[in-house]
Amino acid sequence: MAWGVSPRRQPSFPVQALYELCKRSFPSPSAASSSPPPADVVRSISSLMDTITPADVGLRDYNLEDDRGHGFFDSNLLKGSGRLPRWARPIKYLHIYSCDAFSIGIFCLPTSSVIPLHDHPGMTVLSKILYGSMHVKSYDWIEPTVLASSQPARLAKLHTDDVRTAPCPTSILYPQSGGNLHCFTSVSSCAVLDVLAPPYNDDAGRICTYFHDYPFSSLSAGRTKVAGNPDNYAWLEAINTPVNINMHTGMYTGPTVQELQT
């Protein structure tokens, strides 16, 4: 299957254009090789995502802190003053489109909320901060695998550890590089447009695993050597108990994707 096909027409909405470009670019997992999409294909999608604004996806009010504007919070959750305490405000996921080849959606995070460290097995992921600021910390596995001697942890190298504020370029992670394991902490209320190719699928082995990260020095005890600054490495241990994330499905109010006929 060839990667990418020239567009036949100009889509009427940016989110429709994103869907159509992804549809042409990402083969179904059954037809895909184990390698990520070609760089020029990913760059095309990234460039399009760079142009998408909150208004393009139905986000009219850039401030989640007042619990209005997006319709993210149910009225029965509002108490007294009509404001939720910050710790109680859920992360909202707004579903736009999904198929077996890719998914498009938006994560809306109130201030100080966290999406814990997790992986994207065999997946290419593009993320665009639509508004607000978030701290991003990400890692890639060290290959060949290096295991800690004292507990079931695996060595990873730090890829990103900084704050990103909109507007900023779309970030890209690949199955083996680009920060495939990452966590988000919102510095201010923010929203992130995500494209996953292919999406998580337990039956296909694309299971989301959460991790604890430990400083390199805490488990090394002098037995493991790394190139460069040891602070750029960490031990990651899978969390085998359920991870409780205050995340709920919200209502997507942007333009509806019109599926292409195949």
Domain boundaries, the chain: 14-78+86-249
Indicate the range of 63-67, 80-84, 96-100, 109-113 predicted with least confidence: 63-67
Indicate the range of 128-132, 222-226, 247-251, 252-256 predicted with least confidence: 222-226
pLDDT at 98: 97
pLDDT at 76: 44
pLDDT at 215: 93
pLDDT band at 262 (very low <50, low <70, confident <90, very high): low
Tell whether domain 14-78+86-249 is in CATH 2.60.120.10. Answer: yes
- Distance (Å, rounded) from C-alpha 197 to C-alpha 99? 10
The overall average pLDDT reported for the chain is 85
Q: Enter the pTM of the model.
A: 0.85
Q: Are strands 114-118 and 154-165 parallel, antiparallel or unpaired?
A: unpaired
Greater confidence (3 vs 45) lies with 45
* Position 31 pLDDT exceeds 60: no
pLDDT at 29: 76
For the CA atoms of 188, 233, 36, 205, the dihedral, rounded to the nearest 10 degrees, stands at -90
Q: Which of 234, 133, 108, 130 is nearest to 181 (CA)?
A: 234
Q: The sheet that has 91-98: what strands, in order across it?
A: 171-173, 124-131, 190-197, 103-109, 91-98, 247-249
* Position 221 pLDDT exceeds 70: no
pLDDT at 2: 44
DSSP state of 20: H
pLDDT at 163: 98
